[in-house]
Amino acid sequence: MSELEQLNWKISAKAGEGVMSSAKLFAKACKRQGLAVFNYYEYPSLIKGGLQSGQVYTALRGATCQQRKLDLLIVFHEKFINEHLAELDEQSLVIVNANNFDSSKYPDLKSQVLAINLTKIARDQGANPLAANIAALGLSARIFAMDLQVMGRVVVEEFAKNKEAASKNLLVLKAAFEFTDDLIKQGKLVDRGNLVNTGVDEQLLVTGSEAIGLGVLAAGLQFYSAYPMTPATGLLHFLAAEQDNYPIVVKHAEDEIAAINHALGASFAGVRAMTGSSGGGFALMVESLSFAGVAEIPLVVLEAVRQGPATGLPTWTSQGDLNFVLGAGHGDFLRVILTPGSVEEHFVLAKLAVELAEKYQLPVLIMSDKYILESHQTMPKMILSQQNQRFAMLNDGRLGESGLGEGEFLRYKLSADGVSPRSIPGQGNALQLTNSYEHDQYGFATEDAVETKQAVDKRAAKLSALQQELPKPLYLGSKNPKQIFISFGSTINVLQEVLLDPLASQIALIHLPCVYPFPTQEFEVLLAGKNAELFVVEGDATGQLAGLIKRETKLRDLRMILRYDGRPFYSEDLLEFLQNGQLNKQYTLL
């Protein structure tokens, strides 16, 4: 039996039939066998019905994104095959949840197709018919000679709170495994190979939302408020579930305006606070974002981008909010915009966001998107014991009563680095006034020209020290490239997969984990002396990142590869472009 070092697996059904659960469990089983994993979901904005899919790409060498060509496709309804024809070839295997299959209906389908009634397998074990998704796992485990005990443990853990369901699902899993084994022995199904099992499970499998949650908890976040809005809801659910494990209060607000104001109140009271939403909800927050800017109240905001404008495509991805995030809020005030790519970077930069917001007393925005926030990706296990920097701030008098002394307290005291002492309510020797007006050093409203300029300059003075702590652009690939792909946020996951192909031997990547303040000097240094064609790869229709680069640097000769149909980039498409200069109709080349 040949050994498989990579596998591309997909399950497709109606919303409500357990697709996301089975894909997550298959991804976990692959991870338990010591493989890298990327699990990507597509689903409509429906509770039931429509087409929903979960796609797991797993590989020994690493898996940073989804792949197009499938090794195995499991469809619960025959009609869905037409939706996946572009992902199938002669080497693909298709399993249809049915008693029989009429291949004459699909003249363009070249893959081997086998009809197996997964629902009947579930019913025969006395399980809920929806356990057909567990039967799909048992079938898959046998087709690729996976460890059934590993898959079984994953299933038991998933249903740990319902022992009866766990027991029946184990029976379904085993029955599907044995049924498939019989088909192989009878020659009705060809052995597809043995998926590698390293026996060493050293990674975590988390979504981008879960990685942000872990990062902010590691930074000592104590309050999170939000109103549910896809794809930001994942962070709300994750943090709410962790309230019994960490000293954090999670507030389900009545709307997004309340959510950001709850977070501002909590921050003013002295706790590390955060809010989050998608573009439509964030639009309601921007007045209070300006309040955070002028009042110098630390605040972290997740802007989880989906395809707009307006309601747009609620469950699909985009990077089209960049210009909005850059200019959100009225007036001039300093903000930081972090744009993490991998789930590991989501963890690292979320922790940094909380620390920077409090240290420099300003809003820090984490801009991510549906694609990576809701996809599972493996990452190295982080250090579980985290020490944040808050205690140092307490001791130097920047926050709290220590070091404030007696007498008048200047909350907005002019300082060389722009950061003033900050008190919290209840300190007798550090009373302060905070409101949304421009103010003097005490916090009293002012319309004086001199004091206004001093206040604006003081806040802007934070930039110099702040820039030293921001993540720098990442350069990967050839030192003397013919082409350079430039991206921000989640797109780096796809571009890293491109780099693994021999066709990419003469390309390089530049990833921007922070787009504002823009790292002009570092960015220009990376490109110095490079005689390469520059392509900005971004998920919007107008080239917003390219426009920002032109605004912040001397670069003008930029081409753009754009996608704005709600779907992510695919490495295969970019490799085809490198080979023949052509992109398919889902992309725009400018």
What CATH number is associated with residue 489? 3.40.50.920
Residue 56 near residue 30 (C-beta atoms within 8 A): yes
Helix (H), strand (E) at residue 282: helix 279-283
460 and 411 within one domain? yes
Task: State phi, psi for 130 to the nearest 5 degrees.
Answer: -65, -15
Chain-centre distance of CA 135, in angstroms? 30
Spatial distance between the Cα atoms of 367 and 471, rounded to a whole number of angstroms: 14
**Pick from 99, 115, 121, 94: nearest CA to 176:** 121
Partners of 507 in beta bridges: 483
**Pick from 118, 120, 135, 112: nearest CA to 187:** 112
The pLDDT of residue 108 is 84
Partners of 78 in beta bridges: none
pLDDT tens string 188-236: 888 888 999 998 999 999 999 999 999 999 999 999 999 999 999 999 9
Spatial distance between the Cα atoms of 318 and 90, rounded to a whole number of angstroms: 33
The pLDDT of residue 581 is 87
In this structure, how many other beta carbons lie within 10 angstroms of the beta carbon of residue 407? 7
Spatial distance between the Cα atoms of 270 and 222, rounded to a whole number of angstroms: 10
DSSP string for residues in 495-523: HHHHHTSGGGTTEEEEEESEEES--HHHH
Spatial distance between the Cα atoms of 398 and 420, rounded to a whole number of angstroms: 7
**Pick from 466, 473, 463, 553: nearest CA to 513:** 473
The pLDDT of residue 395 is 44
DSSP string for residues in 10-30: EEEEEETSSHHHHHHHHHHHH
Widest pairwise Cα distance in the chain: 90
Which value, to the nearest 10 degrees, does the dihedral of the CA atoms of residues 378, 381, 387, 388 take?
-10
133 and 57 within one domain? yes
The pLDDT of residue 525 is 95
In a 10 Å sphere around its CB, with 0-12 CB exposed, 13-18 middle and 19+ buried, how is residue 314 labelled? middle
The pLDDT of residue 338 is 98
321 and 225 within one domain? yes
Give me the half-sphere count of Cα atoms (radius 13 Å) on the Cβ side of residue 526: 23
251 and 323 within one domain? yes
The list of the chain residues with pLDDT below 70 reads 1, 384-407
Q: Which residues contact 453 (CB under 8 A, 6 or more apart)?
A: none
Spatial distance between the Cα atoms of 406 and 408, rounded to a whole number of angstroms: 7
What angle in degrees, to the nearest 10, is found between the helix axes of 19-32 and 148-158? 130
Amino acid at 269: A
Spatial distance between the Cα atoms of 517 and 397, rounded to a whole number of angstroms: 27
> Which of 433, 451, 470 lies at the terminal end of a domain, its last residue?
470
CA triple 216-221-223, angle to 5 deg:
125
286 and 166 within one domain? no
215 and 185 within one domain? no
Q: Which strands, in side-by-side order, build the sheet including 533-538? A: 474-477, 507-512, 483-488, 533-538, 559-563, 587-589
DSSP label at residue 472? P
> Which of 353, 382, 411 lies at the terminal end of a domain, its last residue?
382
> Which of 439, 470, 501 lies at the terminal end of a domain, its last residue?
470
350 and 236 within one domain? yes
Residue with tokens 């000293």: 247
176 and 33 within one domain? yes
Tell me, what CATH number does 105's domain have?
A: 3.40.920.10
The pLDDT of residue 389 is 65
The pLDDT of residue 401 is 47
Chain-centre distance of CA 32, in angstroms? 22
172 and 232 within one domain? no
Residue 292 near residue 515 (C-beta atoms within 8 A): no
Spatial distance between the Cα atoms of 183 and 191, rounded to a whole number of angstroms: 10
The pLDDT of residue 428 is 72
3-state secondary structure of 454: helix
DSSP label at residue 332? -
| Dihedral class, residue 461 (left if φ above 0, else alpha if ψ from -120 to 50, else beta) | alpha
The pLDDT of residue 590 is 92
The pLDDT of residue 50 is 85
Q: How many domains does the chain have?
A: 4
Spatial distance between the Cα atoms of 313 and 143, rounded to a whole number of angstroms: 36
**Tokens for 73?**
């496709």
**Pick from 112, 118, 124: nearest CA to 188:** 112
**Pick from 178, 128, 179, 147: nearest CA to 21:** 128
374 and 395 within one domain? no
503 and 357 within one domain? no
Spatial distance between the Cα atoms of 578 and 535, rounded to a whole number of angstroms: 11
408 and 370 within one domain? no
Spatial distance between the Cα atoms of 45 and 278, rounded to a whole number of angstroms: 15
- For residue 431, give its domain range: 389-470
Residue 548 near residue 326 (C-beta atoms within 8 A): yes
The pLDDT of residue 399 is 59
Tell me, what CATH number does 260's domain have?
A: 3.40.50.970
3-state secondary structure 51-110: EEEEEEEEECCCCCCCCCCCCEEEECCHHHHHHHHHHCCCCCEEEECCCCCCHHHCCCCC
Spatial distance between the Cα atoms of 497 and 133, rounded to a whole number of angstroms: 29
